[in-house]
Chains A and B, each alone.
Chain A
């Protein structure tokens, strides 16, 4: 039996951060890297309790043998997942962070249509416009 390190499958991770919130020793942490967000894992803080695996709703968290650098070398946090920023389809501003898949899923399902995908500024403007238009129509009836 050898100690297994924590992995997170980038393709499955939704960036919900359940693993980070439930990590008892703060071995998993979120940090911003420019306009993206990253989940880092510090082997030197890890209890190897596998709580992250248990709580992950996407079964993205798993285990893999430790890499050479972790057994022996000074422990540095390692980036497990990089969640790139979303791009506002209207103005091109970067905001939030999450996987492309999640972004498209919301676009397909949200009742409010594409408005949820806009950056906060554009969303505010669009919401205002929609409500004013809605009211105007109501008045005419």
Chain B
């Protein structure tokens, strides 16, 4: 049987395609995701045109609209590490807040895509309400909806006024209540359909990378726990995980993480320390290594940026490793044995991100 192309996408098109081979009964035997369409060679662009890290961070931010904070965080932290810059505590707290709010925003979007793929429009609308709710909080914190522009080399680009933080805390409480209500609704409407569908099995081995997909298949790895950064060493939180590896497990992990991130954001908002938001000196400290890598737990998993700088602080080398590089392997494995009609549902449960994938 010849390969057939299924158009699979965001509700808004042309991000990736899935090529499947199915048997006579419409059961998938082989699957491959093709997704270079929005790759913009950002790693190369940074080296050729944006050697100044203070400018490059804006290009790095545009690796992805769904996890731009994670990218700027990994990039800024790698540069800071390479130059020996100490970031003030207030900046670290607000960066952590941004990271957890971004996780809520990204998961709300991802879960609403799953609801769309399943044809559950009411559920999809409720989930989009969560996206809108957290976006409103982000507007308070960062004055932006999608690319927050909070991270700068050495700290934050601007401070967040105390009144905005107070307002964010009130809004977060409302949001948390609406997410609680949604959890049951997801199980009721989609639980049966997603259970056992599209299993990514670890087969007793450690799955590559980290992220909600891996944690739905028995992995416990999370960069926030394994190699803590920002305030994650002091911040109490669990890492939700499941063993089943099916679409339901992936959804459950994301729903748990939504609530977990709300609690974490609330915890941070309770006690954001006063003080500077920017390191005093952003030049290379004496004895700086000039080369460093930094991993962060982006909403989709480990996002790793590696930079090499010149003594003048110009970028000489830059590479990015994104979580979809691992998840895309999982999709291909999980689709085998799935009815063609459910392919889109399974793929959406993996929450692939094609704009940073192949972005270097």
Question: Are chains A and B touching directly in their complex (CB below 8 angstroms)?
Answer: yes
Question: Is A123 on the interface with B (CB-CB < 8 A)?
Answer: no
Q: Do the beta carbons of B55 and A24 come within 8 Å of each other?
A: yes
Interface size for A (C-beta < 8 A) is: 10
Question: Is B270 on the interface with A (CB-CB < 8 A)?
Answer: no
Question: Is B29 on the interface with A (CB-CB < 8 A)?
Answer: no
Q: Do the beta carbons of B149 and A50 come within 8 Å of each other?
A: yes
Q: Do the beta carbons of B149 and A49 come within 8 Å of each other?
A: yes
Question: Is A75 on the interface with B (CB-CB < 8 A)?
Answer: no
Q: Do the beta carbons of A24 and B58 come within 8 Å of each other?
A: yes
The digit string for B40-64, where 1 denotes a CB below 8 A from any CB of A, is 0000000000100011001100000
Tell me whether A22 and B58 are in contact in the complex, defined as CB-CB below 8 angstroms, given that A50-B149, A50-B158, A54-B157 are known contacts.
no
Q: How far is the CB of B311 from chain A (nearest CB, A)?
A: 21
Q: Do the beta carbons of B58 and A1 come within 8 Å of each other?
A: no
Q: Do the beta carbons of A22 and B157 come within 8 Å of each other?
A: no
Q: Do the beta carbons of A47 and B139 come within 8 Å of each other?
A: no
In chain A between 13 and 72, which residues have their CB closer than 8 angstroms to a CB of chain B? Answer: 22, 24-25, 47-51, 54
Q: How far is the CB of B345 from chain A (nearest CB, A)?
A: 34
Q: Which residues of B contact A22 (CB under 8 A)?
A: 54-55
Q: Do the beta carbons of A1 and B145 come within 8 Å of each other?
A: yes
Tell me whether A24 and B149 are in contact in the complex, defined as CB-CB below 8 angstroms, given that A1-B139, A49-B157, A54-B158 are known contacts.
no
Q: Which residues of B contact A47 (CB under 8 A)?
A: 58, 147, 149
Q: How far is the CB of A45 from chain B (nearest CB, A)?
A: 12
Q: Do the beta carbons of A51 and B139 come within 8 Å of each other?
A: no
Q: Do the beta carbons of B58 and A49 come within 8 Å of each other?
A: yes
Q: How far is the CB of A48 from chain B (nearest CB, A)?
A: 8
The digit string for B149-161, where 1 denotes a CB below 8 A from any CB of A, is 1000000011000
Question: Is B243 on the interface with A (CB-CB < 8 A)?
Answer: no
Interface size for B (C-beta < 8 A) is: 13
Q: Which residues of A contact B143 (CB under 8 A)?
A: 1
Q: Which residues of A contact B145 (CB under 8 A)?
A: 1
Q: Which residues of A contact B147 (CB under 8 A)?
A: 47
Q: Which residues of B contact A25 (CB under 8 A)?
A: 58
Q: How far is the CB of B310 from chain A (nearest CB, A)?
A: 19
Q: In the complex, A74 Cα to B58 Cα: how many Å?
A: 24
Q: How far is the CB of B79 from chain A (nearest CB, A)?
A: 15
Question: Residue on B with the closest CB to A23?
Answer: B55
The digit string for A79-118, where 1 denotes a CB below 8 A from any CB of B, is 0000000000000000000000000000000000000000
Q: In the complex, A47 Cα to B55 Cα: how many Å?
A: 12
The digit string for B115-151, where 1 denotes a CB below 8 A from any CB of A, is 0000000000000000000000001000111010100
Q: In the complex, A48 Cα to B59 Cα: how many Å?
A: 13
Question: Residue on B with the closest CB to A1?
Answer: B139
Q: Do the beta carbons of B59 and A51 come within 8 Å of each other?
A: no
Q: In the complex, A130 Cα to B158 Cα: how many Å?
A: 50
Q: In the complex, A49 Cα to B148 Cα: how many Å?
A: 9
Q: In the complex, A24 Cα to B55 Cα: how many Å?
A: 5
Q: Which residues of B contact A48 (CB under 8 A)?
A: 144
Q: Which residues of A contact B59 (CB under 8 A)?
A: 24
Q: Which residues of B contact A24 (CB under 8 A)?
A: 50, 55, 58-59
Q: In the complex, A46 Cα to B105 Cα: how many Å?
A: 24
Q: How far is the CB of B298 from chain A (nearest CB, A)?
A: 21
Q: In the complex, A62 Cα to B205 Cα: how many Å?
A: 56
Q: Which residues of A contact B157 (CB under 8 A)?
A: 49-51, 54
Q: How far is the CB of B348 from chain A (nearest CB, A)?
A: 29
Q: Which residues of B contact A1 (CB under 8 A)?
A: 139, 143, 145
Q: Which residues of B contact A54 (CB under 8 A)?
A: 157-158
Question: Residue on A with the closest CB to B145?
Answer: A1
Q: Which residues of B contact A51 (CB under 8 A)?
A: 157
Which of A24, A25, A48, A54 neighbours the largest number of chain B CB atoms within 10 Å of its CB? A24
Which of B50, B139, B158 neighbours the largest number of chain A CB atoms within 10 Å of its CB? B158
If A1-B143, A49-B157 are given as contacts, then 15 extra A-B residue pairs at C-beta distance below 8 Å, sorted by A number, are: A1-B139, A1-B145, A22-B54, A24-B50, A24-B55, A25-B58, A47-B147, A47-B149, A48-B144, A49-B58, A49-B149, A50-B158, A51-B157, A54-B157, A54-B158
A–B pairs, 20, beta carbons within 8 Å? A1-B143, A22-B54, A22-B55, A24-B50, A24-B58, A24-B59, A25-B58, A47-B58, A47-B147, A47-B149, A48-B144, A49-B58, A49-B149, A49-B157, A50-B149, A50-B157, A50-B158, A51-B157, A54-B157, A54-B158
Q: Which 8 A-B pairs have the closest CB atoms?
A: A24-B58, A24-B55, A49-B149, A1-B139, A47-B58, A49-B58, A54-B157, A54-B158
